[in-house]
Amino acid sequence: MSATEHEIGYANFIKTQGFLDFLKKFEIDDISKLYPIIYKVCSKLDSQEDLENLAKFLNKIYEKGYYKSVADHKAALKAHGLSTALNL
């Protein structure tokens, strides 16, 4: 491995580590199984802005799923004559 390849590999490792730090808040079970694909994605991103946009994109997916889950739970409670109030 040449010095340049080593430097690129190290830079990709650093980008991946930063992204993994971001993912910690999601408490993903067995995330280590996803390391190879996370590394591949991060190694293809060229800038900090790209990483931040990926993080924003994943946040949008997470939020959409969270709010859908809340709505589904409210509907299930309503079907049983119950209700709930959530402060979001």
Domain boundaries, the chain: 3-79
Digit-coded pLDDT (tens) for 4-41: 888 888 888 888 998 899 899 889 999 999 999 999 99
Reported pTM: 0.68
Q: Which long-range contacts (CB under 8 A, 24 or more apart) does 10-15 make?
A: 12/39, 12/42, 12/43, 13/39, 15/42, 15/43, 15/45, 15/51
